[in-house]
Amino acid sequence: MSGAPYIRVGFLGFGTVGSGAYRMLEDNREAIARKVGAEIEVVRIGVRDEAKKRCASPSLLTTDLGSVVDHREIDVIVEAMGGLDPAGELIERALRRGKHVVTANKELIARRGAELVGLAARQGLDLHYEAAVGGGIPLIQPIKHQLAGNDILRMAGILNGTTNLILSRMTDEGEPLETVLAEAQGKGYAEADPSSDVDGHDVQFKLAILSSVAFGKAVRPEQIYREGIRGIEQADIAYAKTLGYVIKLLGIVEAVEGGSILGRVHPTLLPKAHPLAAVGGVYNALCLRGDFVGDVTFMGRGAGGEATGSAVVGDLIDVCRNMRIGGSGDAAPFSGEANARPIEELTSAYYVRVVVPDRPLVLGAIATIFGRRNVSLSAMEMRVIDTKLNHGEIAFLTHRCLEADLRQAVEELRHAPEVLRVCNWIRVETL
Amino acid sequence: MSGAPYIRVGFLGFGTVGSGAYRMLEDNREAIARKVGAEIEVVRIGVRDEAKKRCASPSLLTTDLGSVVDHREIDVIVEAMGGLDPAGELIERALRRGKHVVTANKELIARRGAELVGLAARQGLDLHYEAAVGGGIPLIQPIKHQLAGNDILRMAGILNGTTNLILSRMTDEGEPLETVLAEAQGKGYAEADPSSDVDGHDVQFKLAILSSVAFGKAVRPEQIYREGIRGIEQADIAYAKTLGYVIKLLGIVEAVEGGSILGRVHPTLLPKAHPLAAVGGVYNALCLRGDFVGDVTFMGRGAGGEATGSAVVGDLIDVCRNMRIGGSGDAAPFSGEANARPIEELTSAYYVRVVVPDRPLVLGAIATIFGRRNVSLSAMEMRVIDTKLNHGEIAFLTHRCLEADLRQAVEELRHAPEVLRVCNWIRVETL
């Protein structure tokens, strides 16, 4: 490629994702140069700690992050630091200085995507963020391009590898959440503070990004209902199994009447034949339904430096090709804010587990409470859990009903003399 | 969108795919115009029979196909006629006249893709063909863009809905191929002449296209080994099931040493836990392995006017956006021809079914024939099939071995006195 033009790139952050992308650029240098029609040269890498051992030459490293975005010769900034600040302010500064940006930062794009995409569009620059959702799986660009003719009706995905691993282990090994979580933390699969994963914040960010792209309107994370996996007990997993389901943490968003959306993150009972039910371990997957294309499923490694680095480099190659042929600046800004409906308006099937005194009339009383709220039952499993106290446990599945009605029924069950305890209730995905 | 620019499009062919794309452009007109930043207007539609009832205004129709590609105001040609001629010559003419092209024509791209992509590149025009493979599933563009940083190591896919449906029905209903095929023909899922599907030509074309895109070198269909599903009997499906497998028609291509590839289309025993094993009916799916991204799977509807039309419109939206922002002409030409290795160099596991006299020493003799050719056995199933003649049937699974060795072993089995008949042998995909 001697004589080929150079495109100069600056990195911000050089952790798992940044160094993964860097190694890919090194390992596959020739093939990438052929695809771009230019050599991609990383000329500066902004890091927090210059002394740490890295796979890049120490001469490239600097702790002066501003000097990377201000560097005159740099055409493209790769941001792989994560977090809102200083990443956001650095990306803004890079765009204002005429540099294209590739970022893997889900929190930043979820919170400030509309604003930054708008800025990039006004500047005629590319701002790509494929790596922010689903690791190495192509999701954002296929929705923006190959599926662009569709009205997206619905998306449902497993978007967090850590919680998927935890739930898979709980299912396979019968251990409680605390044990499995501690093990995952020990092996480095889960953070010391697991809240971002376990409480669903990570999925909420990712679903906000996917929703914004799919529906073309800015969706804020707070517009998506969120519930984590801390409440899931072994009993729920066991009843789900008996009833033909597995429990997964899903992000789901649907287009609802009047151009609104209803987005939600929560543990979900999935029928075993559902395409997402077999997605195990750290894999991620997304099922999307378009009005013309029908159902499309994407699956792959949702985290890790190599897979996420692959998405960063894919974006970088696109940005560089666009620079070369003069097609930059298609960062289609979102057209206003989405109108999001509250979770109470959801129509879904549900799983409800209660502890009851094992005596006549109890089941009838419970069924009547459900029935009065228009909640119709489709299946149930009972077992005696305490022969001394004569306590039984019942797991119900309902037909599809309005969440507001289900919530009222659960509230009434909590106060009904025939019910000792409502242990849990979980939404159920139908095929 | 009043005042927005117009981009004028001409259609060649208005069958299932063409009319599906047209309806999508009509139904989702506003959203598409917003994404493109311009109105897409179909101004002429070339058809074979002007009198046939269509979903488009008769005033748009013409049987003079040349007048569509020669039309002065048309910027983009959508070719959905299929077949080599006159589609190829019309596309060439369109490119020479400076018109971008979107095509769904797998045979044409498989046979003349390198040449036409080269012409488009020299002309600075877009030539997109996402719809040629996998119906509505985004495959070609994600490989060219989001996965572009990867060395692709391997792809394996279910790329023909008709044969997948036939094999699914044979498995579920226990009927022989002829019965299921006749039923599929009656319902319009299979052609009157089913050879393109049943003998694997369709998959061979699609795999040639995917391989060319993934490896960046032109792969001709003839460079891909091909074997159809006509030889599959109920006995094979039954033994496969007992051994934990399902039989699917797969297209598989691998990068092998020295920059060569080995591509092949044939019925395959798939372990039930394989991501492709659950892909039923008319669905298509592709598993791709990249050196950084790892395994990625794409699944969706592989045929039908709406799904394939979705891919055509996705391409058309991209072409129009590129026109608007000036980024056309990234039809990366292939760098030379691929070097393809013959099937005899394949390393794979195999299934072999034989009929034998049910008497001592037979199994030992067979195992010795395998063993002398370095073929090691991993599992077997036996049953008596004729108590009067005292005939037995054995299905063997081998460990991975060289196909040349397996073929020699099979040849020796055919002539061995201990073997009455070699019924079938099929390649086996491992997890």
Residue A210 lies in a domain: yes
| CB distance A244 to A260 below 8 Å | no
Residue B408 lies in a domain: yes
Say yes or no: A137 contacts chain B, CB-CB below 8 A: yes
CA distance A143 to B310: 12
Q: What is the pLDDT of residues A24-72, one digit of tens each?
A: 999 999 999 999 999 999 999 999 988 888 889 999 999 999 999 999 9
Q: Looking at CA atoms only, how far is residue A318 from chain B in angstroms?
A: 6
Q: Which two tokens stand for residue A92?
A: 């803004």
Cβ contact B293–A275 (<8 Å): no
Q: What is the pLDDT of residues A300-344, one digit of tens each?
A: 999 999 999 999 999 999 999 999 888 888 767 788 999 999 999
CA distance A79 to A45: 10
Domain identity same for A386 and A276? no
Q: Looking at CA atoms only, how far is residue A273 from chain B in angstroms?
A: 9
pLDDT of A2 strictly over 50: no
Say yes or no: A431 contacts chain B, CB-CB below 8 A: no
Could you give phi then psi for residue A5, rounded to 5 degrees? Answer: -70, 160
Residue B1 lies in a domain: no
Domain identity same for B131 and B146? no
Q: What is the pLDDT of residue B2?
A: 45
Contacts of residue A81, defined as CB under 8 A and 6 or more positions apart, other chains included, come to: A12, A13, A15, A18, A87, A90, A105
Cβ contact B317–A291 (<8 Å): no
Q: How far is CA A238 from CA A247, A275, A420, B268, B296, in A?
A: 10, 21, 20, 36, 30
ipTM of the prediction:
0.95
Among A205-209, B125-129, B361-365, the range scoring the smallest mean pLDDT is B361-365
Q: Hey, which residues 38-77 in chain A have their CB within 8 Å of chain B?
A: none
Identity of the residue in B309, B314, B329 whose CB atom sits nearest the CB atom of A147: B314
Q: What is the pLDDT of residue B145?
A: 96
Identity of the residue in A24, A146, A307 whose CB atom sits nearest the CB atom of B314: A146
Q: Residue B338 gets which letter from DSSP? A: P
Cβ contact A136–B318 (<8 Å): no
Closest CA to A286 of A160, A111, A197, A190: A160
Q: Hey, which residues 191-250 in chain B have their CB within 8 Å of chain A?
A: 216
Q: What is the pLDDT of residue B71?
A: 97
Q: Residue B423 gets which letter from DSSP? A: E
Q: What is the pLDDT of residue A4?
A: 64
Chain B: residue whose CA lies nearest to A22: B149
Q: Which two tokens stand for residue A118?
A: 């708008």
Share of chain B above pLDDT 70, in %: 99
Cβ contact A148–B322 (<8 Å): no
Tell whether A149 is in a known binding site: no
Q: How far is CA B89 from CA A234, B62, B108, B265, in A?
A: 65, 18, 10, 29
B-chain residues within 8 Å CB-CB of A294? 136, 300-301, 304, 306-307
Q: What is the pLDDT of residue B1?
A: 40
Q: Looking at CA atoms only, how far is residue B141 from chain A in angstroms?
A: 8
Residue A38: helix, strand or coil by DSSP?
Answer: coil
The set of catalytic residues of A is 206
Mean pLDDT of all residues in A234-241: 96
Q: What is the pLDDT of residue B3?
A: 53
Considering only residues B358 and A399, tell me which one the structure prediction assigns the higher pLDDT: A399
Mean pLDDT of all residues in A173-180: 94
Q: Looking at CA atoms only, how far is residue A422 from chain B in angstroms?
A: 37
Say yes or no: B26 contacts chain A, CB-CB below 8 A: no
Tell whether B344 is in a known binding site: no
CA distance B158 to B203: 8
Identity of the residue in A32, A216, A307 whose CB atom sits nearest the CB atom of B293: A307
Sign of the C-alpha dihedral, residues B341, B345, B347, B353?
Answer: positive
Residue B378: helix, strand or coil by DSSP?
Answer: strand
Residue A331 lies in a domain: no
Length of chain A equals: 431
A-chain residues within 8 Å CB-CB of B25? 149
Domain identity same for A316 and A364? no
Say yes or no: A281 contacts chain B, CB-CB below 8 A: no
| CB distance A161 to A202 below 8 Å | no
Q: What is the pLDDT of residue A3?
A: 53
Q: What is the pLDDT of residues B289-341, one digit of tens each?
A: 999 999 999 999 999 999 999 999 999 999 999 998 888 887 677 889 999 99
Among A99-108, A199-208, B51-60, the range scoring the smallest mean pLDDT is B51-60
Tell whether A191 is in a known binding site: yes
Q: A6: part of which helix (H) or strand (E)?
A: strand A6-12
Tell whether B18 is in a known binding site: yes
Residue B336 lies in a domain: no
CA distance A126 to A322: 9
Domain identity same for B146 and B131? no
Q: What is the pLDDT of residues B132-182, one digit of tens each?
A: 999 999 999 999 999 999 999 999 999 999 999 999 999 999 999 999 999
Average pLDDT, chain A: 95
Domain identity same for B191 and B235? yes
pLDDT of A123 strictly over 50: yes
The set of catalytic residues of B is 206
Tell whether B328 is in a known binding site: no
Q: Which domain holds residue A350?
A: 343-428
Beta bridge partners of B45: B11, B61
Tell whether A249 is in a known binding site: no
Among A238-247, B96-105, B328-337, the range scoring the smallest mean pLDDT is B328-337
Mean pLDDT of all residues in A418-425: 97
A-chain residues within 8 Å CB-CB of B292? 20, 24, 27-28, 136, 306-307, 309-310, 313
Q: Looking at CA atoms only, how far is residue B335 from chain A in angstroms?
A: 9
Tell whether A167 is in a known binding site: no
Cβ contact B136–A332 (<8 Å): no
Q: What is the pLDDT of residues A253-283, one digit of tens each?
A: 999 998 999 999 999 999 999 999 999 888 9
CATH code of residue A354: 3.30.70.260
Say yes or no: A272 contacts chain B, CB-CB below 8 A: no
Q: Hey, which residues 111-130 in chain B have their CB within 8 Å of chain A?
A: 130
Average pLDDT, chain B: 95
Mean pLDDT of all residues in A214-242: 97
CA distance A341 to B236: 53
Q: What is the pLDDT of residue A55?
A: 87
Domain identity same for A282 and A145? yes
Q: B327: part of which helix (H) or strand (E)?
A: none
CA distance B227 to B233: 15
Q: What is the pLDDT of residue A334?
A: 84
Residue B333 lies in a domain: no
Q: How confident is the model at residue B191 (pLDDT cuts 50, 70, 90)?
A: confident
CA distance B309 to B27: 12
Candidates B296, B322, B335, partner chain A, best to mutate (most A CBs within 10 A): B296
Q: How far is CA A221 from CA A207, A208, A233, in A?
A: 8, 5, 27
A-chain residues within 8 Å CB-CB of B24? 149-150, 292
Tell whether B14 is in a known binding site: yes
Domain identity same for A260 and A361? no
Domain identity same for A296 and A312? no
Tell whether A2 is in a known binding site: no
Cβ contact A317–B138 (<8 Å): no
CA distance B95 to B10: 13
Q: What is the pLDDT of residue A116?
A: 96
Cβ contact B291–A326 (<8 Å): no
Sign of the C-alpha dihedral, residues A301, A164, A290, A210?
Answer: negative
Could you tell me whether strands A401-402 and A377-386 are parallel, antiparallel, or unpaired per DSSP bridges? unpaired
Overall pTM > 0.90 = yes
B-chain residues within 8 Å CB-CB of A313? 148-149, 292
Length of chain B equals: 431
| CB distance B287 to B276 below 8 Å | yes
CATH code of residue A16: 3.40.50.720
pLDDT of A366 strictly over 80: yes
Residue B332 lies in a domain: no
Residue B334 lies in a domain: no
Say yes or no: B417 contacts chain A, CB-CB below 8 A: no
Domain identity same for B384 and B399? yes
Q: Hey, which residues 347-406 in chain B have their CB within 8 Å of chain A?
A: none
Domain identity same for B93 and B176? no
Q: At which of B266, B291, B325 does a domain end?
A: B325
Q: What is the pLDDT of residue A15?
A: 95
CATH code of residue A148: 3.30.360.10
Could you tell me whether strands B76-79 and B6-12 are parallel, antiparallel, or unpaired per DSSP bridges? parallel
State the residue for tokens 């409680």. A176
Count residue pairs from A and B with Cβ separation < 8 A: 200
Number of domains in chain A: 3
B-chain residues within 8 Å CB-CB of A130? 146
Mean pLDDT of all residues in B204-211: 98
Cβ contact B321–A307 (<8 Å): no
A-chain residues within 8 Å CB-CB of B296? 136-138, 298-301
Contacts of residue A122, defined as CB under 8 A and 6 or more positions apart, other chains included, come to: none
Domain identity same for A10 and A100? yes
Domain identity same for A68 and A208? no
